[in-house]
Amino acid sequence: MMTEPRRLPPSGVYAITSDRAGSPAEFCDAVAQAIEGGARVIQYRRKYVAAAVQRREAAAACRVARELGACFIVNDDLPLARAIAADGVHLGREDGDFRGLRSELGPDFIVGVSCYRSVERALEATAAGASYVAFGSFFPSRTKPDAPPCPLSVLEEARRLLEVPLVAIGGITPENGGALRAAGADFLAVISGIFDATDIVAAARRYHAIFEDHGAESHHA
């Protein structure tokens, strides 16, 4: 039985699943390890598996996240997020219009919006009820190698103008994440740096340490 949905925490490690091969049990174990290492949010993002597999994996991983106290977000796929009673959905530029979703989904469903390097898009998203907005890629990324770079100044400007949590993504490492946190990021989103690591728990802990070093409180609290 599913426990109650979780609200978005104020800050922390935002771990995004990778397409690394593995059984459903291994996939869920990797999610559990990321949470053990300090991930506060798990985003289900699997581009190269069948829809039926996605449904089973996402439902199982959502249960794991709930049991371990993490927030569970589905990337791109609102029907899947609703079908498995996820905590929310994350939408990119090609994933449909975020306007009107808040009235459709209710006040508690988490809606994240990718804003790339556009503060204007972030302002539009928050006006439409987005729970958080994401910026990047800040550094070269293996996941999205062609993504245009996003300067730190975009994050700093967004921090001045917005009250919602800000997520930074793109090539983030334990060494460069502190600069993003200092510039205003509430969450650091990481894919391969956690889920492609040999020791997922240890990798997540290195990212979690950034929040201990720079303060775990929200920038907009």
**Catalytic: which of 45, 63, 66, 205?**
45
Query: For residue 70, which of 19, 109, 12 has the smallest C-alpha distance?
Result: 12
Instruction: Identify the active-site residue in 114, 131, 137, 141.
Output: 114
Answer yes or no: 144 catalytic: yes
Neighbours of 183 (CB within 10 A): 21
> Which residues, including other chains, have CB under 8 Å from residue 125's CB and lie 6 or more apart?
98, 113, 115, 133
Instruction: Determine which one of 55, 144, 159, 218 is catalytic.
Output: 144
Q: Which residues are registered as beta bridge partners of 89?
A: 74, 111
Q: Name the amino acid, one letter, at 68.
A: L
Helical segments of 14-172, H only: 24-36, 51-68, 78-83, 101-105, 119-127, 152-161
Q: Does residue 114 carry a catalytic annotation?
A: yes
Catalytic positions are 45, 114, 144
